[in-house]
Each structure stands twice: as C-alpha cells, then as structure tokens.
Structure 1
Amino acid sequence: MNTAQWFLFVGGLLLIMGVTPTLLKRLPVTPAMLYLAVGLFMGPTVLGVFSFNPLKESALLEVLTEVAVLVSLFAAGVKMPVPFGWRQWRAPLQLATLSMAVTVGLVAAFGVWVLGLPLGAAVLLGAILAPTDPVLATDVQSRHPGDRDQLRFTLSCEAGLNDGSAFPFVMLGLGLLGLHGLGDHGMQWVLGDVLWATAGGVAIGVLCGTALARMGWWLRSGPQRHELLDDFLGLGLIGVVYGLSAWSNAWGFLAVFFAAVALRQTEMGLAARQPHAPAHDPAPPPDAGPASTVSRGALVFKEHLERVSELVLVLLLGGSLYLDSWSWSAVGLALFLFAVARPLSVVVGLLGTRTPRRMLGMTAWFGVRGIGSMYYLMYAIQHGLPQGLSLQLMQLTLIVVALSILLHGLSVKPMMRGVWRRGKH
C-alpha cells in the first residue's frame, strides 16, 4: 500500500474503534483480536494487500516493541494499590521469579526434546515466551489506581515484574549460543545479569520515582503553586530511568516499573500526611495539598499511547503471518505453554500463599503472551542470533502470540464475569 492508502486504512480503523467501545464491551472479543483479524485479512494470509517482514525490519520492530512495553510498564506501575504490603505482593513476586524459572525450564525442555532445538536456542525460546504481557492483557489487569481486585493486581504486578525478570534468561540463552559472555562457571552471568542488573534496576527505579514525586509535590505545594506538565514528566521519568539503567547495565524494564510504583506510593504517602487526607489510594481533597499528582496526570496519556501501540503492533503481527506459518510445531508449542507450562509454573510459584482455588485457576490460564515476547525476539536477533534460528524462533513466537490473543481474548470476558458474579477476587 502507498502512503495515502495507509492513512485511509489506519485512520478508518481508528474511527471504527473510536465509535464502537460500547459494542465491544458487550461482545466476547477484545480490540487486539480485531486488530489481528484485520491484519490477517489484509496481510499475506488472505488478501496480500500488505506484508511485514520482522526479520528484515527487526531493528525497527525492536524499537517499537520496546517503547510499547515501557509505556505499558509505567501505566501498570502507577495502578499498583497503596500502601505497599508484603502480603499482597508476595504472590506476584513469586510468579515473576519462581514461576518464571519453571516456565523457562519447561519450554526449554519442550524445545530440545520435541522441537529439536539446541540447548541455547531452547533456553532463549523459553525466556522469550515465559513473561506475561503488560500491553495486551488490559482486560485482566488493574483498571485504575486504587483498583483493589486481587486477581487483577496479581496479574498486573506479575506482568510488570517479569518483563524484567525474563532478561537474565534471555542473556543465558544468548550466552549458551556463544553470543554473550557468561564467565567461568557462569559467574559473570550470575553476578552481572542476575544480581547486579536486577538490584540496580529496582534501585534506580525507586530512587528516581521517589525523587520525582517529592519534587512534583514540593513545586505544587509551594507558595507559587507551579503548574506542571504531567505527561512530559511521566515520559521524562521513563527516559531518564531507562537511560540510567542502560548506562549502568541494569534491567531498564524493571527500573521503569518500580519507578512508577515508587512515584505513586510516594505521592500517596505525602498526601496521607496532610490534614483530612484519606488513608488509602483516592486522591486528596484540594485543601490537603496538590489536587493533582504526576502519576495520575500522566496515566491517561500513557493509556492512550498503549492503545495506539497495541493497534500498530498487532496489525504488523497479522501482516507477518502466512498460511504456512501455522505449523503443527508452533501450534503444539502454544498449547503446551498455555495448558501445561503456565498452569504448572503457577501452582509451583504460588505454593504457600493460600491462594483461593478459583483465583489460582484464573491466574494459571491468563498468562497472556504478546508484545514483550516480540521485543525479546527482536533483541536476540539484533544481538547476532543466526538467521536460521531467527526464522525458526520467529515462526514459533509469532504463532504463540497470535494464539494467545485469540484464545485468551475469547475467554477473558466470560471468565471474568463468572468470577464477579460469584464475588470471588
């Protein structure tokens, strides 16, 4: 398609989505499912009006997916309930660490024994597919700051955390393929990619988020009552935190998520100290300090960016698939991941948390794979993954993401409504 046709195509799709939100809420479909359907229909699968080559455009797709994940991580972090509590955060922390490792191991085993992949490529595939997605899982994630639904919180927090906790396994897979240094007996990987990069990312995020919260509160509370551009501050926080993380070899995804969490936690902590301030998450009244906060002001803009990035990237996904992309090996991997690896990893990860059975089942099923997996794949390709392995892992990953959009999208509304009717959270 030429430029004019692209403008007409995307503009028309945006107009349709803009006037049909009420209808979509009543139907058992998600926006991502519609974007994928349009991409498949217009792409090489059906009409062949356009096509997208992820391997040829891997550098561009890496940047697009990276930005989409960063924006989504910020939005997810801002929605985390206040105040922070270990009892509430224990489940998602275990999901993002223990369940992550179990999923990587199970997918790697499937890759070696069923798909015939070398060990390094199998571990890399496990790391690509293990993290749940913060971009495409909006229907099962926290809807707004102060959302107290435990299931939504657990899935949102897990998606925010494991986009950082997957990176050590990505580097391990690359290392086993000879594309990244692991050191003697893997010590360089343990000390650098696991311990330092994780701790450094959390520290950078918490320090920067706390600093911005205090600065914004001071400027708004001062005698001059400064007006602030919250959208710019939110984007600036993402940029600074991610840049510092890259400069210090820390995990930037983890840093951005914790920066947003610290921003929200600090702002609400400052608000709670004001006279007549509420004890929990609602915004303070005008006479109790600033009526606006950076986190609240930046969230709406970030959610709009999320929607646009979802549309663009899922359309490109549809335009990347051909009829012969749907191989038995790719479909079998997806079914193994959804029906075996994810449920087993959740059961192992939530041992000892006394999670209700219904919530355990919902968490086990809604491990949505999406834009994060596409980013890790592009990251590996840009770091020297051989072309043959790149094509093989690309076919597997794109089909898993497409099936996740379809299967999880079809089931999310009926299952969530069932939980609400029973009053289980």
Structure 2
Amino acid sequence: MDTVTTFAVIGALGIGSQWLAWRFQLPAIVLMLVAGVVAGPVTGLLNPEDSFGELLKPIIAVAVAVILFEGGLTLNFKGLRDAGPSVLRLVIIGAPLGWVLSALAIRYGAGLSWESAIVFGGIMIVTGPTVITPLLRQARMQARPAQILKWEAIVNDPIGALAAVLAYEVVAALYTAHSVGDAFWHLAQGIVVAGVLGYLGGWFIARTFNRGKVPEYMKVPVLFGSVLAIYAASDNMLHESGLLAVTVMGVVLANAHLPSLEEIRRFKEHATVILVSGVFILLAASLTVEQLGSINLRMVLFVAIVVLVVRPVTVLTSLIGTKLPWRERAMIAWIGPRGVVLVAVSGLFGTQLTALGIEDGQNLTPLAFALVAGTVVLHGFSMAPLARRLGLTSNAVPGLMIVGGSRWAVNLATALNKADIPTMIVDRNWFRLRSARDAGLKVYHGEILSETAEHTLDLTPYGMVLAATDNNDYNALVGTDLGPEFGRGQVFQVGRSDEAEGRRALPATLGGRAFGDGIPYEEFMRREADGWAFRITKLTEEFGLDDYLAVNEGAHILGRIKESGLLLYDGKLPETIPAGTRILTFMRKQEARNAE
C-alpha cells in the first residue's frame, strides 16, 4: 500500500471510529483500538513501518508535540484556583502520590524496569478528559461528583504529560551522560533550554496577538507554525527537550488572557481529534503479533492493581479532611479511565526508551493499550449502575436552558416547568430576569459565554439550549460556542431576520438550528402581545396528530415531550407522533382553550 493510501486509510479508520462512537454512544477509544488492531497485526492491511519508514517516528513525535501543547493550553491557573478544594487536593496531593503508586504498580505488577516505570507512571496521572465527559453524560451523575471528575481530568491532563516529559529527561540524562554530575548538568540544561524557549515562544505569540500584529484569519496558522518551530528549535539545541518546550508554551498562552484564545482552543480541539485519532490508529496498527501475545497475566495483574489499589488509595488519601460524603468519595475513587493521550505519549516514549537501550520500553505501548481498554470497559459499564446504587444519579429528565429573558421566553419556560421539564433563563441584564424570578423560574444572571459561567454554572440538568435574545449575531455566537458542549443537534436559536439585514446577515453555517418554524424574535414578541400562548397537549389513540392539526390549523408545533425528555423541532415535523406523547405548541389563546 502506497503512502497516500495509507494516510487515507488511517484517516478513515480514526475519524470513522469517532463518528461511530458518537452515533451509537460508545467509547471512541475502544472502537479505534479494535480498528487499528484489525487493520494492523490481524489482517496486515496497514503496516506503518513499511509505509513511512524513518518518517514514522517524526510523524508521531510532531503529533504528540501538538497534543501536549493542547494540554498546556488547558492549564489556566485561575481556573485551577476556582476549581474547588477537592480538585486542588486531587492535583496537589493526588498527582505526585498517583505517580509514585503507578510506578510501583508498573515495576512490581507488570515487571518493567524502574526507568520505564518512572516515565510511564508520570503519564498515568492523566485520567482522560475525552473519555470521562461522555461517560458522565451517559451516567447522568449528580453535579458535584461529576464536576470533580471532569475538572480533575482537565487539570491533570497537562500535569501528567509534563511529569512524563520530565521523567524521560531524567532517564535520558542518566543514560547519555558519562557520570552522575554530567547527567544532572544535562538535565538542568534540558529544563532551562525548554523552559526559556517555551516561555519566550508563548510570550512572543501573546504580545504579537494582543498588539494586533497578526490578522484574525492568520492567528491559528501562525500559532501552529510557531509550535512546530519551538519544538524543532528546542530539540535541535538539546535532544528530546522539544516536548517540554511546547508544553510550557501552551501553559504560558493559557494564562496570557488572549482575547482570541477561545477561537484558538476550538481549532486545536479539532486538530487534536484528528491527530489523536491518527496516532492511535498508527500505534495500534504498529503492534506486532508478538507484542499482542505479551499481554499476559502480569499485565492483567497490573491493570487490576491500578484499578483496585492505586486509584482508590490516591483519591481517598487526597480527599481526607474534605466535607464530601463517603458515597461521592467512593464514586470518584472508582472512576479513572485512561484515554488516547496516554497511548500517544507512551508510544513515543517507549520507542525513545528502547533507543536508549532500555529493552522493555517496547512494552509501554501494549501496556498502555491494555490499561486503556481495561479501564474504559470497566468504568464505562460500571459507572451508571454504581451511580444509581449509591444514589448519585439525577432523576430529572434533561431540561432546556433559554438564553434571553423576554416575556415569551418566560412563558415558554413556565409551560415546560409545569410539564416537569427543568428550565433555566439566562440573561446578562438583571432587570430582564425580573419576570422569570417572579414566575419562580430558575435564573442565572451573567454572561453565558464567560469563563465564570463555565466554571460556576452547572449544565448537567440541561440537554438543550435555546438562544432567544433580540440580537441575531449574539444568538449565533451562543449557538456556535455551546455547540461542542451540548452537541450541534441540541442547540437552537430563534429565526434570523436575514431579509432586513441583507448582505450583513451571518452565514447559515454559524449558530444553532432554527427553533420551531424559524420564527424571528420580533414575531414571537408580536404574537405574544396579540394573545398567543405556549401549550402542552397529550395525544391519544382517539385524538392523534392529524386530529389535532385539523382542529388547530394555526398552531405551531415546536416539539414533543417523551419519557426521556424534551425534543425540539427545527420546522421539520415527523410524519407520525405516537399516542401518549405530549406536544409543545404555540397558538392563539382562543385556539388553546379549544385544544384543551
């Protein structure tokens, strides 16, 4: 298979696995593992070493550098301070303790050398934010334990990568130096060179962006090129220091208060998904039959020790003295799935350790795959049942968050509340929330797109968003920003007044789905003033959808309520709605009385 075809197959397998995981609500990492192993050692369809030759290691190294830079971008010190005492303890106490216990588990459980154990133990601090988030959504866990698990994964992501890089630098210094003194001098050089270059790179980018020296459309390309340049420069000055440099660069930028940081983060998230998928497929396909056969009882023992001993001891020790109930501590102590970052970084360091003469370095990749597969399967299937057993699940159906405190939005939220659908009104203006407060609705006063809302607002009870302000551009911004959080199909906005805006109208690709029949905000306000109201009606065998539409010709069906929650329509009604379903409509009050 030629190189271009190999790239195409890797892309199709990686992105295809991600899509199938989203479509069928399965862990993407398991599907990518199966796809890579089947395409590689099982069928021989992919053989990365034959296809890429000497380029294989640089390709993986550059991809891991971008992944580590992305991890550094998530380490905001202010966010760490605001994350809460439990998360701080899991970072300050849990990360070092987990590193030590993981290294011991690798040394005595898996039987690897101390050098491999120290490096692999560092990256094992990471609990996999891309894995935990979908598991939390499926389990519908209560807010506090879910937030602690989420923030632990986010904050420890760059810390674990940094620990692995530093551990490797120590091992490399000891193996390449002629004496212990030379080893420490080499290590100090590596840390200084990487730290200085990473800091200068981040400082220069932040200063250039803040002064407007780079146009908006070039910021992401300039940043991407700068990451590669810093990585290459640091690596050329001192071998294997590039990964530490780009991680430091990411941390500097994360705390530089860049106004365009959110757009940069969104791009790097997309790039990381592509790179992580590619690296994962490459590493899985690079496994040999002998390496697969090396997954023996010692590796199973290692996974068992990590799950049953290392994780519980680390969490329970870190949370001593906190006010968390024992049920929440037990849940957090059990959940610790590892993700693709563990495999990507361990695959690179395994190759480099082998090059240093540490033969068992080649076992890091199969060991990482065993740990990822074991923890994802165990925690993926046990999280929801255990949460229910401990009474930590949310019994409420997923609700609707409405951005904008207009009268008709309050009336919509009131109708949904009566139907036991959780709703919340969000607005930046305290006075516009007065009607919602008077109606007894849950409100949030603040900017929904701010970091404060991201850190303090619990979105767990809400499965949908409706942007319903009088500003089309802001509605589109809300839909675009919250789309990755809720899913594009779950973000709606009121119709746009594009006819009035003409060429100034925003592209249809931005924002959320049209709410209802695409009625604009002004039309909702006018109809509400003319006596229109929101009503919820239950269909029966005797009075189905056709009967309802025949009686209420002017009614707009906006959605339906099932046992699983609210389902909004974007103007395209289904051909049939089963009996027993409640439908949400917008109609004149006289017609509403007739419907009742």
TM-score for the superposition, normalised by structure 1: 0.69
Does 1:362 find its partner at 2:332?
yes
Does 1:262 find its partner at 2:232?
no
Deviations 1:4-63 (A, max 9, x none): 864664465467457646424xx2x22221121112223333x34344569x98954432
Residue type of the alignment partner of 1:415: M
SS at match of 2:123: coil
Q: For residues 37 and 250 of structure 1, do their structure 2 counterparts lie closer, same or farther at Cα, with a shift above 3 Å needed? A: closer
With a CA cutoff of 8 Å and minimum separation of 6, indicate the structure with the bigger relative contact order: 1
Deviation at 1:105, TM superposition (A): 3.8
| Partner in structure 2 of residue 408 of structure 1 | 375
Q: For residues 202 and 415 of structure 1, do their structure 2 counterparts lie closer, same or farther at Cα, with a shift above 3 Å needed? A: farther
- How many equivalent pairs are there? 369
Deviations 1:303-349 (A, max 9, x none): 2222222222222333214252432233333333343344445555x
- Structure showing greater radius of gyration is 2
Q: For residues 264 and 53 of structure 1, do their structure 2 counterparts lie closer, same or farther at Cα, with a shift above 3 Å needed? A: closer
Does 1:372 find its partner at 2:345?
yes
Task: Tell me if structure 1 keeps the 8 A contact 2:169–2:241.
Answer: no
Task: Tell me if structure 2 keeps the 8 A contact 1:334–1:399.
Answer: no
Does 1:209 find its partner at 2:202?
yes
| Partner in structure 1 of residue 29 of structure 2 | 32
Among candidates 216, 222, 228, match of residue 239 of structure 1: 228
Q: For residues 163 and 141 of structure 1, do their structure 2 counterparts lie closer, same or farther at Cα, with a shift above 3 Å needed? A: farther
Does 1:340 find its partner at 2:309?
yes
Q: For residues 199 and 173 of structure 1, do their structure 2 counterparts lie closer, same or farther at Cα, with a shift above 3 Å needed? A: closer
Task: Tell me if structure 2 keeps the 8 A contact 1:131–1:162.
Answer: yes
Among candidates 32, 38, 42, match of residue 39 of structure 2: 42
* Higher mean C-alpha deviation, range 227-236 or range 85-94: 85-94
Deviation at 1:64, TM superposition (A): 3.0
| Distance in 2 between residues matched to 1:106 and 1:400, nearest whole Å | 12
| Distance in 2 between residues matched to 1:74 and 1:424, nearest whole Å | 28
| Distance in 1 between residues matched to 2:293 and 2:374, nearest whole Å | 20
Deviations 1:380-414 (A, max 9, x none): 123344xxx2xx442x3233222233233332486
Deviation at 1:229, TM superposition (A): 1.1
SS at match of 1:421: coil
> What is the correspondence of 1:213-224 to structure 2 with a 5 Å cutoff?
213-219=206-212
* Higher mean C-alpha deviation, range 160-169 or range 6-15: 6-15
> What is the correspondence of 1:227-306 to structure 2 with a 5 Å cutoff?
227-243=216-232, 245-246=234-235, 247=237, 251-267=241-257, 293=260, 295-306=261-272
Task: Tell me if structure 2 keeps the 8 A contact 1:36–1:317.
Answer: no
Q: For residues 376 and 361 of structure 1, do their structure 2 counterparts lie closer, same or farther at Cα, with a shift above 3 Å needed? A: farther
Does 1:131 find its partner at 2:129?
no
SS at match of 1:49: coil
Does 1:307 find its partner at 2:273?
yes
Deviations 1:159-182 (A, max 9, x none): 212222223433554567xx3327
| Distance in 2 between residues matched to 1:238 and 1:303, nearest whole Å | 15
Task: Tell me if structure 2 keeps the 8 A contact 1:65–1:313.
Answer: yes
Among candidates 269, 276, 282, match of residue 316 of structure 1: 282
Q: For residues 102 and 252 of structure 1, do their structure 2 counterparts lie closer, same or farther at Cα, with a shift above 3 Å needed? A: farther
Q: For residues 336 and 382 of structure 1, do their structure 2 counterparts lie closer, same or farther at Cα, with a shift above 3 Å needed? A: same
Q: For residues 136 and 98 of structure 1, do their structure 2 counterparts lie closer, same or farther at Cα, with a shift above 3 Å needed? A: closer
Deviation at 1:208, TM superposition (A): 3.1
Does 1:382 find its partner at 2:355?
yes
Q: For residues 51 and 226 of structure 1, do their structure 2 counterparts lie closer, same or farther at Cα, with a shift above 3 Å needed? A: closer
| Distance in 2 between residues matched to 1:19 and 1:192, nearest whole Å | 45
| Partner in structure 1 of residue 160 of structure 2 | 162
Instruction: Work out the percentage of aligned pairs sharing the same amino acid.
Output: 16
SS at match of 2:256: helix
Residue type of the alignment partner of 1:32: I
Deviations 1:52-107 (A, max 9, x none): 569x9895443233223222222233334563555755642444444323422442
Q: For residues 243 and 373 of structure 1, do their structure 2 counterparts lie closer, same or farther at Cα, with a shift above 3 Å needed? A: same
Task: Tell me if structure 2 keeps the 8 A contact 1:72–1:303.
Answer: no
* Higher mean C-alpha deviation, range 329-338 or range 353-362: 353-362
Q: For residues 251 and 364 of structure 1, do their structure 2 counterparts lie closer, same or farther at Cα, with a shift above 3 Å needed? A: farther
| Partner in structure 1 of residue 300 of structure 2 | 331
| Distance in 2 between residues matched to 1:365 and 1:62, nearest whole Å | 33
Deviation at 1:231, TM superposition (A): 1.6
Task: Tell me if structure 1 keeps the 8 A contact 2:70–2:250.
Answer: yes
Does 1:122 find its partner at 2:114?
yes
| Distance in 2 between residues matched to 1:331 and 1:208, nearest whole Å | 43
| Distance in 2 between residues matched to 1:19 and 1:397, nearest whole Å | 28
| Distance in 2 between residues matched to 1:126 and 1:53, nearest whole Å | 27
| Distance in 2 between residues matched to 1:136 and 1:78, nearest whole Å | 16
| Partner in structure 2 of residue 77 of structure 1 | 72
Q: For residues 154 and 182 of structure 1, do their structure 2 counterparts lie closer, same or farther at Cα, with a shift above 3 Å needed? A: farther
Task: Tell me if structure 2 keeps the 8 A contact 1:201–1:250.
Answer: no
Q: For residues 267 and 365 of structure 1, do their structure 2 counterparts lie closer, same or farther at Cα, with a shift above 3 Å needed? A: same
| Distance in 2 between residues matched to 1:131 and 1:57, nearest whole Å | 27
| Partner in structure 1 of residue 106 of structure 2 | 107
| Distance in 1 between residues matched to 2:228 and 2:4, nearest whole Å | 33
RMSD: 4.2
Runs of at least 5 residues in structure 1 that lack an aligned partner in the other structure = 143-147, 269-291
Deviations 1:138-159 (A, max 9, x none): 13379xxxxx944323222222
| Partner in structure 2 of residue 282 of structure 1 | none
Does 1:67 find its partner at 2:62?
yes
| Distance in 1 between residues matched to 2:254 and 2:274, nearest whole Å | 24
